[in-house]
Amino acid sequence: MEFLTDYGLFLAKTLTLVLAILFVFIVLIANASRHKSEGKHKGHITVTKLNDEFDDLRDDIRHEVLDDDVLKAEAKAEKKKDKEEQKARRKASKEASAEPERKRIYVLEFDGDVAASEVEDLRHIITAILAVARPELDAVMLKLESPGGMVHSYGLAASQLARLRKHNIHLTICVDKVAASGGYMMACIANNLIAAPFAYIGSIGVLVQLPNVHRLLKDNKVDYEMITAGEYKRTLTTFGENTDKGREKVQEEVDEMHLLFKSFIHEWRPALDVTAAATGEVWTGTQSLTKGLIDAIDTSDEWLLTQCKEADVYEVSWVRKLKMRDRLTALLEGSISASLQKIMFGLLHRADKEKFYS
């Protein structure tokens, strides 16, 4: 009997703790939703020297595969080399001959979604780089991945990259996977556009699509009212009855936007045959090179390793400063999302395996 009493108290305490935790999470989510209108919090720039990171990776391998005697000999040789370089710099300083400035390369990343959400971070980073970069000497490399999205959002992102060109900062863009549609709108700004052999490039076109459930509503005797002022305030709708006149107007707008898209690309890549390229098709990196959409075939990793031999390479990113409730909310959302993804992929994997068994 005493055991049952203790066990009941234990269950009561556990249930109370669980309910308290759930209550805290509910309050946090409610507060996050309530304060969405406050806008994004400020953040800060983080800088990592990639030369040092690559050296550390190299040293980790060397310490595992080389003998101690070889390591000691290499360390001695490197130390001797450093002393000689320092001696040469001091001698040059005494002779009043200015040593050539070493080039700096700032590395950025842009992982684009439909709304080009990272454009706000990009604005901060480029503004910071322009404050310190030396025109004609320093450079920027952007690792770009994007299947495209909203025209106005990607137009702003492309305009941010154009700021670098305006200030005579050489811009290299590397595409390892995809730069299509709005992604290519950004990519074409580059002085030097590089893509991996199987990266997807192109999709130079404009698309408008939306479902229409008017007939479903009509069959179920549901009326949909919409009052507008202006002949073309609404052309195509989801719930109302679309007309040929509305469709013609939207087609006219799409064609005009496509023309602007082609003109923009021609401005930055005048040698490209835009008419042949702007069919909405997507090509691999290798095909894109022959068509003139890119300048070279390479990966961002190989390009960076090569540049580290001749320049100081810095990875620059923007870290947003979040309030505690936002951090906890993001943590909760991330945990739920990860759990759902794990369940979904598990079911898909199981279904894929089970089809081979009777």
The residue from 233, 309, 353, 355 that is catalytic is 233
80 is catalytic: no
DSSP letter at 16? H
DSSP letter at 146? B
Buried b (16+ CB within 10 A) or exposed e, 133-159: beeeebbbbbbbbbbbbebebbbebbe
Rounded alpha-carbon distances, angstroms, from residue 232 to 207, 242, 246, 256: 19, 12, 8, 16
149 within 8 A of 179, measured Cβ to Cβ: no
The residue from 146, 153, 181, 288 that is catalytic is 181
181 is catalytic: yes
Rounded (10°) CA dihedral 146, 163, 118, 238: -70
Q: In what order do the strands lie in the sheet containing 200-202? A: 178-180, 200-202, 282-284
Tokens standing for residue 127: 């503004």
Query: In 3D, which of 131, 122, 125 has the Cα closest to residue 157?
Result: 122
Q: How far is CA 212 from the centre of its chain?
A: 32
Query: In 3D, which of 348, 245, 281, 326 has the Cα closest to residue 31?
Result: 326
| Beta strand residue intervals within 6-53, DSSP E | 43-49
Query: In 3D, which of 171, 146, 150 has the Cα closest to residue 160?
Result: 171
DSSP string, 316-345: EEEEE---HHHHHHHHHHHHHHHHHHHHHH
* Residue keyed to tokens 């089809």: 355
Task: Catalogue the active-site residues.
Answer: 181, 233
